[in-house]
Amino acid sequence: MKRLSNNPTMDHRRSFLACSFCFVAAFAILLVRLAYFQLWSGEAFRNLSENNRIRVTEIHAPRGRILDANHEILVDNRPCFDVTVIPEEVQDYTSLGETLARLSPLPPEVLNEKLAAIRKGVPFRSYVLWKDASWDTVAYLEANRLRIPGVMIQVTQARDYLVQGLFAHSIGYMGEISPKELKRAHRREYRIGDWIGKVGIEKVWEEQLRGKKGGLQVEADARGRQISLVKRKEPTPGKNLVLSLERRLQQRARQAFGDATGVAIAADPRDGRVLCYLNLPSYDPNSFVGGISRDEWDSIRMNPLYPLTNRGIQGLYPPGSIFKIVLAIAALEEGIITPQEKLFCSGRYRLGTRDFRCWRKAGHGSMDLHQAIVQSCDVYFYQLGQRLGIERIQSYAKRFGLGQITGIGLDGEKSGLVPSPEWKRKRFGEPWYEGETLIVSIGQGALLVTPIQVVSLLSAVTNGGTLFAPRLVEKVESTDGKVFVESSSARGAPVNFSSRTATIVQEALRDVVASEKGTGKRARMEGVAVAGKTGTAQVVRMDDQRTPGDEIPLKERDHAWFACYAPAESPEIVVVVLVEHGGHGGETAAPIAREILEEYFRSDQPDETLSASPASEVDG
């Protein structure tokens, strides 16, 4: 039998020592193991922990196509290579900037700004540095991937504008999203380097076109090599847009213009669909796809003809004699003249001490309203304007949509100007003079309109007084053809005028083209009755000392207008043509309008029936 110790303190000390020994031994083992991990195997484990990473790569959604009314593709996508940067993997941003500066199409300062912004981004997210890299750049970066950590080539898509500059001012173009755009609340889904619609349909319909991004989560090592796929989310393609524009009409209008500058717009007066929307000069949106160079941008921006200006909605011009349509309707509706009443034109109309001239120096003699519209007599309309007064003129102009935007659905549309005594007092602090009323009566002076407003005006004259908001997009479709949105034109406030007034004015407009004395004879077609109105808008005041043989500088030449519709008895199409510094509307603009009409009616009638009749007279 074991004898128990008579000293309890000694027993506790032995137990404490045993426990302490076990604790020290365990701690020593942990310390040795830790030293092994840190000193002998630290580098290997560091590589395992740091270099095998979960990398998030976005998969950009294919952008929706843009098609014309006949489903011909106007804008598509093509494969391209983007240069991307992953902030966490870049070792030296200064060295990286110097290396990429030799390859990048971006100016050095822009490249450095983008690298600085990317450096502050999410560490493991890839950011686009520039799009559509050249084959040489791709080959160099791929061959030197190990020497340029953090830079990768991503296969994606770039916009392909198949018709180059033919639809540039309606479709627009894309560009890299700006810092200001990124800060907007509804731009949170965008990243640095993403591309976005900048102008035109590409901008206005951005949400439908862009689709939704997908993404990849992959495990990759420090050299950018993929080890395994963790997760994949497929992108949702953007929706296609079907426009009301017809490529064939647009091409015919472009051919008819030649080297001239101006606008041609065609629309269906029955619902506001825009069939042709041509602005010249134009530009190639493909220049912006990979990021436009500074030299190319400067050549476009500094062009004295301003190819980026959307003249159809932003160009402000005096309407010239086209405004006489409004005067005629106002005078008939207000009862200040009858269709049979005649006024005399001697070539001049005196008001106070000043003579207001007619475009025909010899005068037109005595004529009624019908004759005055057909021959575009200025003196006749001076007298109508004086009887109406500026307030009533402004009221009717506003009813027909002048002085306000049409709502065509393109950004940057201007409202134009319908002057009034109140406007002049606020603008210049001066009273309105009666002579200014006479000038406005023939579409000159401070009165300014856009070509698309003239389209709406003439459409309302032909359709009984309905002002439609012109539209360019017919429907929104998925890639499999399912229709999501089918557009319809919004109706504005009706323009109230009697059917009797409409008939009187429409018959006169028909004779502007059909009559031997009409100023629009060059728009005449066999087999299709055309009605219209010519206009010549002065750019500078005429010099009484100038002789007929004097050469007029191009910038001082008048703008040429022609606004028409056909068939005259049941209008299907309205065409408005403006040729900048083109001279007389009947000479320059009317033949272009005729060619557009020929193309429109070509499918229904043999080519030989669409020949033009000779004409020689022009209006003022």
* Mean pLDDT score, 490-518: 92
Structural domain tally of the chain?
Answer: 2
Q: Is residue 25 part of a domain?
A: no
pLDDT tens column, 79-109: 989 898 888 888 888 888 888 988 888 888 8
Task: Cite the active site residues.
Answer: 321
Pick the range with the lowest mean pLDDT from 110-114, 427-431, 534-538: 110-114
pLDDT of amino acid 466: 93
* Mean pLDDT score, 510-536: 95
Q: What is the CATH number of the domain that holds 556?
A: 3.40.710.10
pLDDT of residue 446 exceeding 60, the answer is yes
Distance CA 108, CA 129 (A): 12
pLDDT of amino acid 184: 75
* Mean pLDDT score, 115-121: 87
- Quote the tokens at residue 581: 């510094």
Q: Is residue 324 part of a domain?
A: yes
Angle, CA 582 vertex, CA 577 and CA 586 arms, to 5°: 60
pLDDT of amino acid 149: 87
pLDDT of residue 619 exceeding 80, the answer is no
Pick the range with the lowest mean pLDDT from 113-122, 174-183, 220-229: 220-229
| Identity at 338, one-letter amino acid code | T
Distance CA 547, CA 555 (A): 18
* Domain ranges, residue 69: 54-243
Q: Is residue 49 part of a domain?
A: no
Distance CA 561, CA 578 (A): 5
Torsion 580-583-585-591 (CA) sign: negative
Do the beta carbons of residue 493 and residue 410 sit within 8 Å?
no
Strand 240-243 to 66-67 pairing: parallel
User: Which of 85, 94, 55 is CA-nearest to residue 153?
Assistant: 85
DSSP for 377-443, written as a single string? -HHHHHHHHHHH-HHHHHHHHHHTTTTS----S-TT----B---HHHHHHHHS----HHHHHHHHTT
Whole-structure pTM value: 0.83
Q: Is residue 14 part of a domain?
A: no
Give yes or no: residues 538 and 437 share one domain: yes
pLDDT tens column, 274-315: 999 999 999 999 988 877 777 888 888 889 999 999 999 999
pLDDT of amino acid 181: 85
Give yes or no: residues 237 and 252 share one domain: no
615 confidence band (pLDDT: 50, 70, 90): very low
Q: Choose one of 208, 225, 243: the last residue of a domain.
A: 243
pLDDT of residue 326 exceeding 50, the answer is yes
How many H helices and E strands in the chain? Answer: 21, 21
Q: Which stretch of DSSP H or E encloses residue 357?
A: strand 354-357
* Mean pLDDT score, 321-345: 97
Q: Choose one of 218, 243, 268: the last residue of a domain.
A: 243
Distance CA 184, CA 162 (A): 32
Do the beta carbons of residue 159 and residue 75 sit within 8 Å?
yes
